[in-house]
Amino acid sequence: MRFEPLSGKELQLIHDVTLKILQQTGAVVEGSEAREILLSAGCLEDGRRLLFPPRLVEDCLNHQVAVTLYGVDESIVLPLTEATRSYTHNFGSVSVLLDPCDNKIREALLQDLIDFVRISDSLPHPDMVVPSLRPTDLPEEIASLAMTAYTLQNTVKPVDIGTASDRWEISYLIRIAAAVRGGLQNLVEKPMGTLSISPLSPLNFPADITEAVIESARSGLPITMLPCPTRGLTAPVTLVGGLVQQNAEQLAFLVLARLVNSKTPLVYTCRLAGANMRTGCVSGRDPDIGFSGACVAQLARYYGLPSGVYGLDTGSAQPDLQSGFERAINGLYPVLAGATLVSGMGALNAGLLASAEQLVIDDEIYAMIRHRQKGITVNEEAIGAEVVSAVMRGGHFLAQEHTRSFMRKGEIYTGTLGNEAPYEEWRVNGSVAIREQAQEKIRTLLANHSGVVLDQSVCSEIEQILEEARIDKKGW
């Protein structure tokens, strides 16, 4: 079962207009090396902007490169290009959190990051772990590197290698990930995640960003193309206008990466959001966040690329009713549309606030969404006409092997959080709210986690790389 909001003609129109924008308007591209690469391939110069010939874009799109991610434990495999379902992961790079103990907002510390990673590692539905919190008790100059380092140490699942804004960050992130894999070649063969790079909207690639793209593409590691346009502020206010501009940013990024290395694995990612035009605030309340992710799932398939989208998002600053209905709506659209990676688990307040309680609740929300992403099997065995006949002759459904068989297959969803008891029974048993259930589950998961998953020698090597980076950054 797949939700497809765009028709074939509409996809073709989006592509055609995108090529027109790239040919006639182009993109601001800075950095001498990037400009030389693009101009040598046939781009035309128009001041700071480079104009992309349609044929060049089409040629670069023709390079189909499969993307497969592996866990820190290499037996865990996520085939993104050939994905048969949506994978999900937590939010990334938040520096404040809602403390589950006292319900107060505070700055994130290293132990908080470790706890979030271990919770994500223990929950059944996060398929991948993104470095979630940016600890404020670590040196700021290496905080982005440390996020990845300590995430890799505390989960066996695939790990996003990190988001980088320059060549320096890319080079050290690669070194840290390669240390875990036992060398760069092993990492390229079995990457545990992608390198994420964000150009500026609209259609602006500063020198630091183009250098990061070039460094990443040369490594051979998968890259997440991560433009973040905001409708009404840095992109057209219409949803389709934002999708087209974002598509142009993706394809300009793709051309540069593929010219550097035609075998560069790429992930087409949507972070398109709408602004409140009265306040300028970007809010997770917007149901178009999930809907745009559904559109991008289609666009990515149109180009033969895996997709990464926002889903479980909300404007609320608490794990409350608002958070529940907003993130369920925003999560449902892209999963039903077959998006490859769906982000947002554990984030509140439009991604500005982290919550371990919400992370646990999101595992439940995603389980419910996944339950019906599988669709419905329509055949004689599932229909069970003979079961109806048996019951009508004097039996009952509970006694039927058909009932037992399909219950074992998960026909009826059975959750682990929330209440389904009648009100009086719920009240007599303590009136336990879902947040209290989530808090208890957090304590249980952390108490039962095995701790650091890497050998001490690898952890020591990572610490040495972090220290070298700290010293090196001062002279950068």
Tell me the CA distances in angstroms from 16 to 38, 203, 467, one per residue in order: 21, 17, 49
Tokens of 88: 């999900």
Q: Is the pLDDT of residue 293 over 70?
A: yes
pLDDT of residue 246: 96
Integer Cα distance of 271 and 296 in angstroms? 10
Task: Give the model's confidence band at 475: pLDDT under 50 very low, under 70 low, under 90 confident, else very high.
Answer: low
Q: Tell me if residue 367 falls in helix, strand or coil.
A: helix
pLDDT of residue 473: 77
Radius of gyration of the chain from its Cα atoms, rounded to whole angstroms: 24
What long-range pairs does 232-240 form, CB within 8 A, spacing at least 24? 232/274, 232/275, 232/277, 233/275, 233/280, 233/282, 234/200, 234/201, 234/202, 235/201, 235/202, 235/272, 237/274, 237/277, 239/272, 239/274, 239/288, 239/291, 239/292, 239/295, 240/14
Q: Is the pLDDT of residue 376 over 90?
A: no
What pLDDT digit, counting tens, does each position of 303-360 carry? 999 999 988 889 899 999 999 999 999 999 999 999 999 999 999 998 889 999 999 9
* Domain boundaries of the chain, sorted by first residue: 8-59, 68-373
Instruction: Tell me the mean pLDDT in the region 262-277.
Output: 90
pLDDT of residue 403: 86
The whole-model pTM stands at 0.92
> Which residue bears the tokens 């087409």?
268
% of the chain exceeding 90 in pLDDT: 74
Instruction: Tell me the mean pLDDT in the region 439-452.
Output: 95
Report CA torsion sign: 421, 425, 429, 430. Answer: positive
φ/ψ of 266, rounded to 5, equals -130, 145
Give the torsion through C-alpha atoms of 202, 208, 212, 218, to 10 deg.
110
Task: Give the model's confidence band at 476: pLDDT under 50 very low, under 70 low, under 90 confident, else very high.
Answer: low
pLDDT of residue 200: 95
Strand 204-205 and strand 223-225: pairing? unpaired
Count of other CB atoms within 10 angstroms of residue 309 = 31
Instruction: Tell me the mean pLDDT in the region 437-462.
Output: 95
Task: Give the model's confidence band at 273: pLDDT under 50 very low, under 70 low, under 90 confident, else very high.
Answer: confident
pLDDT of residue 65: 92
Instruction: Tell me the mean pLDDT in the region 15-34.
Output: 97
Specify the higher pLDDT residue, 220 or 280. 220
Q: Is the pLDDT of residue 127 over 60?
A: yes
What pLDDT digit, counting tens, does each position of 82-117 carry? 899 999 999 888 999 999 888 899 999 999 999 999
Asked if residues 323 and 314 have their Cβ atoms less than 8 Å apart, the reply is: yes
Integer Cα distance of 307 and 298 in angstroms? 9
pLDDT of residue 345: 94
Strand 105-107 and strand 162-163: pairing? unpaired
55-81 in b/e burial notation, b at 16+ Cβ within 10 A?
ebbebbbeeeeebbbbbbeeebebebe
Element (H, E) at 410: none
pLDDT of residue 63: 85
Tell me the CA distances in angstroms from 4 to 1, 105, 322, 338, one per residue in order: 10, 39, 26, 9
Task: Give the model's confidence band at 416: pLDDT under 50 very low, under 70 low, under 90 confident, else very high.
Answer: confident
Count of other CB atoms within 10 angstroms of residue 230 = 17
Q: What is the CATH code of the structural domain delimited by 68-373?
A: 3.20.20.480
Instruction: Tell me the mean pLDDT in the region 154-164.
Output: 94
Ranges assigned E (strand) in 329-434: 341-345, 347-348, 353-355
Task: Tell me the average pLDDT of the chain.
Answer: 93
